[in-house]
Amino acid sequence: MKFGFKFSNLLGTVYRKGNVTFLKDGNTVVSPVGNRLSLFDLKSNKSETLQFTTKHNISCIAVSPDSSAAILVDEEGEITLINLISKTVLHRHDFRKPVNCVSFSPDGKKFAVCKDNVILMYHAPGKTMSLNPFSLYRTFYGAYNDVTCIDWTDDSRVFAVGGKDMNTRVYAAVKLENLVIYSLGGHKDEIVGCFFEKDSLDIYSVSRDGTLNVWDCDTDLDDLKSRAEFETVPYSEEFVEETELEEEETKASKTESEVDTTNTKILYTRTAKHFFNKEGDFNNVTSVSYHSATHILVTGFASGSFQIHELPDFNLIHTLSISEHKITASAFNVTGDWIALASADLGQLLVWEWQSETYIMKQQGHFNGMSCLDYSPDGRYIVTGGEDGKVKVWNTNSGFCFVTFSEHTAAITGVQFTSNGHVIMSSSIDGTVRAFDLHRYRNFRTFTAPRPTQFSCLAADGSGELVGAGSEDNFEIYVWSVRTGRLLDVLAAHEAPVSSIAFSPNESLLASGSWDHSAILWKIGDEKGARETIQIGHDVMSVAFRPDGKELAVSSLNAEISFWDVQTATQNGSVECRHDIGGGRSQTDRVSAKTSSYGKAFQTLCYTADGEAIIAGGQTKNVCVYHVREQMLMKKFPISKNLSFDAMEEFLDKRKMTEFGPSALIDMGKEDENGTALKLPGVRTGDLSSRSFKPEVRVSCIRFSPTGREWACTSTEGLMIYSLDSNLVFDPYDLDIDVTPQNIRKLLDNKDYSKAFIMSFRLNEKKLIEEVVEHIPHTQIDAISKNLPQIYVEKSLEFIAQQLDASPYIEFYLRWCRALLVNHGPVLKKRSNQVMTTMRHLQKGLTGKAQTIGKLCDSNVHQMRYILSLAKLQKLKLAKEPEAEEAIVGSESDESDDDLQIMSVAAT
């Protein structure tokens, strides 16, 4: 089996911290997720997380006006320049200090970086023949504290910044005769946002205490006199002297009576001052965004509500509360119709259409992290359970969560799909096992034990008739009937908490592992009570059956995976994993990562779809794949390289050691993003204790997709999916010198479709295969499939399965699928074990299209019937009474013809 899996997507986490923005098309939201970047396409209803990562969590982002490039800034001040078209990293630059905000100019030729109280302006790459990344254009001084926000005029000649010194300053980005720097006061708290009016120098400034100042400028943009054109060479001096700037600032801050009438300097006047409604002492403004074309201002508060105002009259349009936690970021799309709102505390991302007052997107991950997952039998869905007591179902094609079950009152410990894929089972430490129906989206069955207990693991049998759960306090295993809800059996033999259970895929056999150093095989059917005890010698962390049910894998606390024959209860082999776990060194550890890995073990196991390998994960940043028969490590996947997590470093760093111990243990009086001291729950004022900590990367559950094309794991990062489906992988088959794209296209022009079809699969480039297949006439499909060599049949079916997910030519590929299965069905049946993953992938695509088209046809039928009925009623109203009676009779006779017409229109 191939193990060229690449990171494909990140689900379950939609936002962590920083600002959010829209791309140029107005349909795609860009959101930072940890040290990765996620794109949510609201038009095609798909999400994508890019593969590259930064060293630390992303704190702010900026996208170029043409959406071709983006700048990512992490917590430690390292800037990453990426190309959004090729989705690759172009350049990295380290500022060695945190960056507060970054912004491109509207013309895309410059970008500004605000670090401390300094604004650094750089030439934007890509606008000239050379890349020239991060070429400094000019440095601006003047602020007395950190700069917090920035905005540009439409012509990119002037920009304004707000800071913690409660002032808003206007700078000239090019040499202007009547403007160098202008300072605007009038606030009593730090500036959260400052915005220019469209095609004007008028400014709106918003402070954290909920104050809005309206500043009117006596000079238009067209009246600004330039001493140097914007396209010419910039200033000869690299830095502007602070003394010169202070002199200009004092001159500009004089009252109107003191200003010389002959002076041509610009002058700002405050024309209005508004206050936002306050509902509590801590209802500060946390985010603000302005759309200059529509004059709409959206303001987010610490109470979790937001307000929409129309400026400059400050007319309140709408107020809505979306949560009890503060709104961290907000942004408008290009047209101003959609507003993106994000909350870091909840990990929530919303897109709100303010005119119709509806949600375009509403996504939220698990609040406290994920603990377990499972794939549906067709691989289309993933169900996850979290420590917040919620069960969420995700679509693997779109990456969105479409249903959340909140019936549990405590952390989820296990989730599993039944064999038909219509029911989800979940267990929790609240003492219940619940069954959820995916058709009606409800909890239709609740299983409980005779006495209160906490369930630590869950398993459902292959038929979907039985469900079992292990207890961690009375050490018993309970088995219920899903159909009746009755408790069938209580299995009591363990002497310590039950850590894992699993049903055999092929027989009524249940395997359980416990901390009492044993694993037990239970007979559940007619031979109820019969069991076989396997002594492991150490605490059992996880058990897993091979897909054929003939082998059992057991992970123990001594970092070893042992394999046991189910029929004879004898050991077939074992793998020593201690040197492969590779745990990182925590900030408080005095030893290296290699030494700290002792005592760690894999806590979750899963066989691959073909049963030849096993994949394992645990309290470590690595996921390891072992070959079962050879008992050796095949591949190691590092889950994260984010240094914002704990236990990521390998060796001791003397720079982080002080005379009092590790610097991580010293409370530096940290504050949150609003400047409020961290406090105890329920306390209105801050205390001297530190409430900040770094989470540690760990993998709580791993599952392999039934299609064999991907696997997923729940980690501290979120739900991470690794897939083989990558367009960038060049994997030719039986390649020779004559197999080239040019020769393949020549064969297409000569209508030699069969040879072109085979050669395209030998080259194995997806775009080229798609081009060849879609150029073949549908009348030639049956003939080509009959003469197709057997070795290319499975490759063709796998390609068709992928196309059914994305291609609009559904009927065309269905004809290919039918021809291949009819002509090569007997041979495929003999090789059922080898083609099982392909057939499951094909079933996944067919099931998805059948459900989508079925719903669309039903909707069209009802709409057409409604339209035709309205037309008949309109005719009856216009007609006279005797004619109306004839119309009624005629309509009844034409009912069957209308139904036929409706079905034909709906199908098209």
As a whole-number percent, the residues of the chain with pLDDT over 90 amount to 41
As a whole-number percent, the residues of the chain with pLDDT over 70 amount to 82
Higher pLDDT, 583 or 705: 705
* Alpha-carbon span 638 to 626, nearest angstrom: 15
pLDDT class of 907 with cuts at 50, 70, 90: very low
Q: Using an 8 Å Cβ cutoff, are 821 and 839 in contact?
A: no
Q: Give mean pLDDT, residues 567-580.
A: 88
pLDDT class of 681 with cuts at 50, 70, 90: low
Q: Give mean pLDDT, residues 60-65.
A: 93
The 10s digit of each residue's pLDDT in 362-384 is 998 888 888 999 999 888 899 99
Neighbour tally for 189: CB within 10 Å: 16
Q: Is the pLDDT of residue 106 over 60?
A: yes
Q: For position 686, what pLDDT does the model report?
A: 47
* Alpha-carbon span 760 to 770, nearest angstrom: 9
Higher pLDDT, 281 or 802: 802
Least confident of 279-293, 656-670, 718-732: 656-670
| C-alpha closest to that of 625 among 647, 646, 608, 639 | 608
Q: For position 528, what pLDDT does the model report?
A: 65
The 10s digit of each residue's pLDDT in 419-473 is 888 999 999 999 999 999 998 999 999 999 999 899 999 999 988 899 999 998 8
pLDDT class of 245 with cuts at 50, 70, 90: very low
Instruction: Tell me the pLDDT of the chain averaged across its residues.
Output: 83
Sheet holding 203-207, edge to edge: 191-196, 203-207, 211-217, 268-275
Q: For position 616, what pLDDT does the model report?
A: 93
Let me know the angle formed at the C-alpha of 31 by 28 and 33, rounded to the nearest 5 degrees.
140
Between the CA of residue 170 and those of 180, 195, 196, 711, what are the distances in Å? 8, 11, 10, 52
The 10s digit of each residue's pLDDT in 25-42 is 889 999 999 899 999 999
* Alpha-carbon span 426 to 391, nearest angstrom: 8
Enter the pTM of the model. Answer: 0.78
What is the separation, in whole angstroms, between the first and last Cα of the chain?
42
Which 3 state secondary structure label does DSSP give 857? helix
H-only helix segments in 543-678:
578-581, 593-596
Q: Is the pLDDT of residue 669 over 70?
A: no
Structure-token match 């969590």, residue found:
57
Q: Using an 8 Å Cβ cutoff, are 573 and 558 in contact?
A: no
Q: For position 801, what pLDDT does the model report?
A: 81
Cα–chain-centroid distance for residue 492?
42
Q: For position 73, what pLDDT does the model report?
A: 94
β-pairing, 36-41 vs 46-49, is antiparallel
Q: Using an 8 Å Cβ cutoff, are 7 and 50 in contact?
A: no
Q: Give mean pLDDT, residues 106-124.
A: 91
* Alpha-carbon span 175 to 230, nearest angstrom: 8
* Alpha-carbon span 7 to 724, nearest angstrom: 9
Q: Is the pLDDT of residue 11 over 80?
A: yes
* Alpha-carbon span 883 to 889, nearest angstrom: 10
User: What single-letter amino acid sits at 633?
Assistant: L
pLDDT class of 258 with cuts at 50, 70, 90: very low
